[in-house]
Chains A and B, each alone.
Chain A
Amino acid sequence: MKSLTTLILSMFLCSSAYAEDVGQFTFLGSGQCAPFEGTLFDAKATSRLLTLEEEMILGCNAQLDFELAKQRTELQLDLDSQRIRFEADIKEKDLAIETQLRQISDLQNALKKVSANNKWLYAAGGVATGIALSYAAYEVLVK
């Protein structure tokens, strides 16, 4: 059935093309040097008809292989891009963690220097300073 369709299609294609290059055909009536009414194809047209299916299969396979390979390449590019982005994300994350750990360490060191754990000493110092300042103010302002 497929071959028959191909044959019919190619008849129309052949009729509109240049006869010299692509083969010739004509219609024959009954008794017109032919046992029945039909279509006469020359050697070139016959060869075209007989190879049409093979030509289409080969063309289709080539096109299919090409499109599949192209799609595979596109997907590979997409995969590579995503892998590169992922690796960059990992590096950025590591860098951010490293920086933040360093910041935390710096802040902890600073905090240790600013306020040691002797808070009672600081409280006593503060109270003493307050008393001294109050007394000084009293001495200066009242006396």
Chain B
Amino acid sequence: MPQLLLKLLPYLKAYWKELAIICLAMAFLGKMRYDHRLLIKTYEEQTIALQEQIDGLNLIHAEELRKKEAALQAYKDSLEELEKDYNREKRNNRKTIDRRRDQIEEQFSQNKEELANEIINNFNFEYVPM
């Protein structure tokens, strides 16, 4: 090894300037390549981060749609239930009124005095017996 260095020494002495230029140029190129690789790595990391953000946004959007769909379904069910209740109440009201009418019709034939009082109370008319 030292012999090799001794052989190379004259050569190095003669061409040290050229060799220095080559070394500097290689260092310059090496640094440039390193920076370039770093830039690409940074770009890739940014791309991955943005892609993950897009995926996250898609997930959030899908979840939002699912929740809205569920809310809409709950609204429809609720509305259906309300309509059922409303119809049930109407039927009950109908029954109540029918019972009341039957009662009045019964009064008409059996208890005219009570019916007359009811008419007086309702309309404030004067009762004139025949």
| Chain A residues close to B by CB (< 8 Å) | 3-4, 7, 33-36, 43-44, 46-48, 50-51, 53-55, 58-59, 62-63, 65-66, 69-70, 73-74, 76-77, 80-81, 84-85, 87-88, 91-92, 95-96, 99, 102-103, 106-107, 110, 113-114, 128-129, 132-133, 135-136, 139
Q: Known A77-B71, A106-B45, A106-B49; judge A43-B38 contact (CB<8 A).
A: no
Contacts of B35 in A (CB 8 A): 114
Q: Is B109 on the interface with A (CB-CB < 8 A)?
A: yes
**What's the Cα separation between A48 and B63 when bound, in Å?**
57
Contacts of A48 in B (CB 8 A): 101
Q: Pick from A62, A70, A74, A81: contact of B90, CB below 8 A.
A: A62
| Chain B residues close to A by CB (< 8 Å) | 17-18, 20-21, 24, 28, 35, 38-39, 41-42, 45-46, 49-50, 52-53, 56-57, 60-61, 63-64, 67-68, 71-72, 74-75, 78-79, 82-83, 85-86, 89-90, 93, 96-97, 100-102, 104-105, 108-109, 115, 118-119, 122-124, 128, 130
**What's the Cα separation between A50 and B107 when bound, in Å?**
12
Contacts of B57 in A (CB 8 A): 92, 95
Query: Do B42 and A106 touch (CB < 8 A)?
Result: yes
Query: Do A81 and B68 touch (CB < 8 A)?
Result: yes
**What's the Cα separation between A129 and B17 when bound, in Å?**
12
The 17 listed contacts between A and B (C-beta, < 8 Å) are A35-B128, A43-B109, A50-B104, A50-B122, A58-B97, A59-B93, A62-B86, A70-B82, A73-B79, A76-B75, A76-B78, A77-B75, A80-B71, A99-B50, A99-B56, A114-B35, A133-B24
